[in-house]
Amino acid sequence: MANKVFDNAAAALDGLLFDGMHIAAGGFGLCGIPELCIAAIRDAGTKDITVYSNNCGVDDFGLGILLQTRQIKKMVSSYVGENAEFERQYLAGELELEFAPQGTLAERMRAGGAGIPAFYTKTGYGTVVADGKETKEFDGQMYVMERGIRADLGIVKAWKGDAQGNLVFRKTARNFNPMAATCGKVTIAEVEEIVPVGSLDPDNIHTPGIFVQRIVQGEHEKRIERRTIREA
């Protein structure tokens, strides 16, 4: 069996990065983001990247650091409201943006990973989301055709994984990660802990190792995106 375990994110990304590539990234806000891989991509200097992700982090963390270095050419996202640099680049015409409803984006990733090139959804019909896309009527209802996503690279963050790449995500940190893992031609998983093969309950594995080609263990900051407290 091929060795999937790498010492760090830079080593795991070695030989996979190229200018103009498409990357699917897991995470929602700053929850469950592959922060080690993102930092390593920044350090590698890869340019003109198209990123499929729910959002683009914040100005100084997550995918936002790739905006700071101008390495992202296009974002395909559902929400961009927490990143001032994103707003500035988009309004200045420096960044391409394709909005996708959250459920549609998740299904586009899942479909691409399942080998489904396109599907129809009611979401977005009659809005700008449907502009330029094929529409069709089924049973008296109008649907929009959406393309499945197949990225050059998938980067995800899990709680635990084994040397075969089987992954377990923790609570809401699962979010977009399982779909991003399946739609990458090559997928790297960063985990908090690599456990012995056979120690994970097969019924509790969220992403089977067949979808993961490389895995790395590391320390994660787990920054809170927006801290909210109640007055005493």
- What is the residue type of 201? D
Residue 229 CA, distance from chain mean position: 29
Average pLDDT over residues 27-31: 94
In this predicted structure, the answer to whether residue 145 has a pLDDT above a threshold of 70 is: yes
Q: According to the model, what pLDDT value does residue 16 have? A: 98
163 found inside a domain: yes
CATH number at residue 82: 3.40.1080.10
174-204 pLDDT tens trace: 999 999 999 999 999 999 999 999 999 999 9
Share of the chain above pLDDT 70, in %: 100
Is residue 188 within 8 Å of residue 214, measured between CB atoms?
yes
| Residue range of the domain that includes 90 | 5-117+149-217
In this predicted structure, the answer to whether residue 23 has a pLDDT above a threshold of 90 is: yes
Share of the chain above pLDDT 90, in %: 90
pLDDT band at 80 (very low <50, low <70, confident <90, very high): confident
123 found inside a domain: no
In this predicted structure, the answer to whether residue 28 has a pLDDT above a threshold of 70 is: yes
36 found inside a domain: yes
Token pair 């899942």 is found at 110
143 found inside a domain: no
67-79 pLDDT tens trace: 999 999 999 999 9
37-56 pLDDT tens trace: 999 999 999 999 999 999 99
127 found inside a domain: no
Mean confidence (pLDDT) of the chain: 96
Average pLDDT over residues 93-99: 96
In this predicted structure, the answer to whether residue 213 has a pLDDT above a threshold of 80 is: yes
Q: According to the model, what pLDDT value does residue 1 have? A: 63
Is residue 40 within 8 Å of residue 63, measured between CB atoms?
no
Q: According to the model, what pLDDT value does residue 107 have? A: 98
144 found inside a domain: no
pLDDT band at 229 (very low <50, low <70, confident <90, very high): confident
126 found inside a domain: no
In this predicted structure, the answer to whether residue 112 has a pLDDT above a threshold of 90 is: yes
226 found inside a domain: no
Stretch (H or E) spanning 106: helix 102-113
pLDDT band at 90 (very low <50, low <70, confident <90, very high): very high
216 Cβ partners below 8 Å, 6+ apart? 5, 6, 7, 8, 9, 11, 12, 36, 188, 189, 190, 191
Alpha-carbon distance 229 to 232, whole Å?
A: 9
State how many domains the chain has. Answer: 1
Q: Exposed, middle or buried by CB within 10 Å (0-12, 13-18, 19+), for 101?
A: middle
